[in-house]
Amino acid sequence: MIWSGKRDRAFGEAIRPELARMTTPSPSAALRERILSDRAAGARIILPVERNAGGFPVRYLVAAVAVIVGLVVLPSRRASRDDVGNAQPVVLDSFFGSVVYAEQPGSAPSLPAAFPVRPERLHAGTLRYRRVFSDSLEHVTKTVESVLSLTADSSTGVAAWRVTRIDQERSSGPPVTSAETLLVRQKDLGLITRAVHVRPYTHWKGINIEQRITGDSVNGRMTLDDIKGMRPIARRLPSAYAPYLSDAFAPVYLATVPLSARWQGSVTLLGWAVIPKDVLRPVQLRVTGEERVRVPAGTFDCWRMTISHSGGVIDYWVRKSDGIAVRLVEPNPPPGGGGERVVTLVSQSGM
Amino acid sequence: MTATARNDRLPSTPRSDAELVTLVAGGDLAALGGLYDRYAGILLAVAYRLLMSKDDAEDVVHDVFVGLPEAFRRYEERGALAGWLKRVTVRVALSRLRRDEVRAAQSLDASLGAPQRDTAAAIDLESAVAALPPSLRAVLVLKEVEGYSHAEIGDMIGISVAASKVRLHRALRALRRQLEEE
């Protein structure tokens, strides 16, 4: 292969000593003091630790079992290079980009707030989406089958939509299932409650997020399936960033907004809010044109849009007839490495 | 002397890594300070090479040490503590790097064709490394400086072995271009 040629190797070896001698900062007493002070004040951070830290014997055992399974139980799949050894870390992706890596924004959105002007345009039904991730070599690395449903419900006597989204992720690693359930008020689509469950989640068996949104605050807790204890969620939601939107609701939200040829607006995705940097994720939405788009669910006349956020720009198509998401293309989705993420509407019932 | 500093100094007798791990897992701040004295240097260097920012590297090291007591409760001693700490640090640094990576990788080809640098400034290897897109710099540093295999890098970054090799090639090619233009 051209990229592993002798010239590269020679150059790499030539610069290695100089790379190793690069000037790096020295650990300071101030940093030491900050760590100990924060720790003494109750700061807690969950680290991405390997489940069997340094456990080479266990790794070898797992590898041996995988080989045996591959040779004996699954001979028809022997040619595949995707096995347990190539398992990739789980990365949560959201419809409008990666919420999990969101950064606390420095200033409020500059575009007009995209409040739901016509919430009555939402109807009960089910949408099925397929997300396909490919790497920089255009190999499919992961697919996610997503089912989004809206059903009429109520919360303390208030008419609400129960929004559920179940994602089944398939990749070379273990299958991942995530489920998000929301209750939103029908009259203004304000968030009431949110529950997220992901299994497995990175190096844990599963993670659970429970949120209740009251006034300008989100409160709740995070738990991990294999670790006792919980982390509280208590964050303020500044009005300057409204309207707040949960990821599960994103594909249908623009049904409630009167889109036009030069429309633009902003919404803020609500993160899991466990850590300060994962609370707010403002996104800017702009209509950039009109296109006819063909997806598995059919051929539709669409508004072509861009979704701008701190991580980049996403191309987005929604149906002109009802604002439902039809297609989305995100270049270089997390965790990086080039490639793209393509989301398409596969089928629909109701709505 | 601050409240925390009063209690974070170890006795004069050096403790083993295993003893420190046990103490830190039990919430002993003095032991955590001892681990900082012992390992913060190498962890800060790893984080800095990946992020090329002193502030970001310090934030990563801060997060790693603050999270160690809980992490050590699940730690199984089977290898060198330093290696384990470095892997954790790399993972935390990479998660921070990904945010920048998405931005930078968006115009990956463009940035390779026109390196981000001040043309008036002398380009040495360090500034050339700093000018690399984060996605390429991470693989370069992990492979050429930290000595991880492509399989390990792929596992840490979440890419295939082939993609790791491609990135290394691109990083080396970009470095070579910049140094040749100097």
Give the tens place of pLDDT for each residue, B46-57.
999 888 888 889
The rounded distance, in Å, linking the Cα atoms of A260 and A144 is 31
Tell me, what's the pLDDT at A336? 53
Tell me, what's the pLDDT at B132? 87
Residues 6+ apart with CB under 8 A from B89: B43, B46, B47, B60, B61, B64
- The DSSP 8-state label assigned to residue A158 in this structure reads E
The rounded distance, in Å, linking the Cα atoms of A306 and A328 is 9
- Percent of residues, chain B, with pLDDT higher than 90: 19
More confident residue, A173 or A322: A322
Query: SS in 3 state form for A232-295?
Result: EEEEECCHHHCCEECHHHHHHHHHHCCCCCCCEEEEEEECCCCCHHHCEEEEEEEEEEEEEEEE
Contacts of B143 in chain A (CB under 8 A): 12
Q: Provide ipTM, 2 decimals.
A: 0.81
Cβ under 8 Å to B: A residues 35-64: 35-40, 43-58
Phi, psi for B47 (deg, rounded to 5): -65, -40
CA distance, residue B91 to nearest chain A CA (Å)? 7
Candidates B91, B159, B169; nearest CB to A8: B169
Dump pLDDT digits (tens) for B6-26: 444 444 456 788 889 989 988
Nearest chain B Cα to A87, which residue?
B155
Nearest chain A Cα to B64, which residue?
A47
Report the pLDDT averaged over residues A129-137.
83
Nearest chain B Cα to A38, which residue?
B66
Tell me, what's the pLDDT at A54? 39
Top-ranked range on mean pLDDT: pick from A85-94, A222-231, A290-299, B62-71: A290-299
Top-ranked range on mean pLDDT: pick from A18-22, B131-135, B169-173: B169-173
Confidence of residue B156 (pLDDT cuts 50, 70, 90): confident
More confident residue, A256 or B82: A256
Question: Following DSSP, what letter does each residue of A196-209 receive, concatenated?
Answer: EEEESBTTBS-EEE
Cβ under 8 Å to B: A residues 73-102: 85-89, 91, 98, 101
- Mean pLDDT (chain A, rounded): 80
Amino acid at A69: V
The rounded distance, in Å, linking the Cα atoms of A274 and A211 is 10
Q: Does the distance separating the beta carbons of B77 and A54 come in below 8 Å?
A: yes
Dump pLDDT digits (tens) for B139-148: 999 988 888 8
> pTM of the predicted model, to two decimals?
0.51
The rounded distance, in Å, linking the Cα atoms of A328 and A75 is 37
Is the pLDDT reported for residue A201 higher than 70?
yes
How many CB pairs (< 8 A) connect A and B?
Answer: 229
Tell me, what's the pLDDT at B112? 36
Cβ under 8 Å to B: A residues 175-234: 227
Q: Residue B106, class by beta-carbon neighbours within 10 Å (0-12 exposed, 13-18 middle, 19+ buried)?
A: middle
More confident residue, A107 or B139: B139
Residues 6+ apart with CB under 8 A from B73: B25
Nearest to A127 by CA among A145, A149, A144, A94: A149
Is the pLDDT reported for residue A31 higher than 50?
yes
Give the residue from B1, B2, B4, B129 with the most A CB atoms within 10 Å of its CB, the best one to mutate.
Answer: B4
Tell me, what's the pLDDT at A6? 64
- Mean pLDDT (chain B, rounded): 77
Dump pLDDT digits (tens) for B95-127: 777 655 544 443 333 333 333 333 333 347 788
Tell me, what's the pLDDT at A44? 75
CA distance, residue B94 to nearest chain A CA (Å)? 9
Report the pLDDT averaged over residues A286-313.
90
Which of A46-55, A303-312, B74-83 has the weakest average pLDDT?
Answer: A46-55
Nearest to A19 by CA among B165, B141, B30, B171: B141
Confidence of residue A40 (pLDDT cuts 50, 70, 90): confident
Nearest to B139 by CA among B173, B109, B163: B163
- Percent of residues, chain B, with pLDDT higher than 70: 75
**Helix (H/G/I), strand (E/B), else coil: A220:** strand
Quick check: A25 contacting B, CB < 8 Å? yes
Nearest to A48 by CA among A201, A214, A250: A201
Q: Does the distance separating the beta carbons of A337 and B135 come in below 8 Å?
A: yes
